[in-house]
């Protein structure tokens, strides 16, 4: 469903990029285009699941693959799956991303590209990495 969420946990962008530049609604390329919302939270940026093709069919889906049994009953819709923090001017990292497909939490990098897309790379252990490009989206 939202396998692409494994990809982001840090941001390395140009010195002029800020949390304001990445906040908003983004479409992932996996599973027919899941929607996620990035917004400032505390000292960083958080990502929440907005929608996916599977959530549109069954909106009450739960976090059944979570490795913490106590969390398996929480809803996937509006789940915070990512938090990243600024590590310096234009640099983001020191964060985490949760993948509800496998219940794992990962680290990675995210870069705001000049064309306005987000390039996300996540690694279980290098060199086992995966990269995606997220694009700005409108609400469905």
CB 37 within 8 A of CB 50: yes
**pLDDT of 32 above 80:** no
**pLDDT of 7 above 90:** no
Average pLDDT of the residues in 5-12: 38
Classify domain 3-136 at the CATH topology level. Lipocalin (2.40.128)
Nearest by Cα to 4 from 75, 52, 60: 52
pLDDT, residue 91, reads: 59
Q: Return the percentage of the chain with pLDDT > 90, whole number.
A: 34
Q: How far apart are CA 131 and CA 109, in angstroms?
A: 9
Average pLDDT of the residues in 99-128: 81
pTM across the whole model:
0.81
CA atoms within 13 A of residue 53's CA, in its CB half-sphere: 8
**pLDDT of 26 above 80:** yes
CB 100 within 8 A of CB 9: no
Q: How far apart are CA 109 and CA 96, in angstroms?
A: 10
Average pLDDT of the residues in 51-57: 91
Identify the three-state secondary structure at position 5. Answer: helix
Q: How far apart are CA 104 and CA 124, in angstroms?
A: 9
What pLDDT, in 10s, does the model give residues 59-79? 999 999 999 999 999 999 999
111 forms bridges with which residues in the sheet?
119
């Amino acid at each position: 469903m939202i396998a692409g969420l494994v990809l982001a946990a840090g941001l390395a962008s140009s010195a002029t990029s800020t949390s304001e530049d990445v906040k908003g609604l983004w479409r992932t390329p996996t599973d027919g285009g899941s929607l996620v919302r990035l917004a400032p939270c505390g000292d960083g940026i958080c990502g929440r699941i907005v929608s996916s093709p599977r959530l549109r069919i069954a909106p009450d889906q739960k976090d059944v693959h979570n490795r913490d049994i106590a969390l398996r009953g929480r809803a996937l819709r509006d789940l915070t799956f990512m938090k990243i923090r600024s590590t310096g001017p234009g640099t983001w990292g020191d964060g985490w991303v949760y993948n509800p497909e496998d219940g794992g939490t990962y680290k990675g990098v995210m870069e705001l590209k000049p064309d306005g897309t987000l390039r996300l790379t996540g690694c279980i252990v290098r060199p086992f990495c995966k990269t995606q490009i997220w694009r700005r989206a409108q609400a469905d």
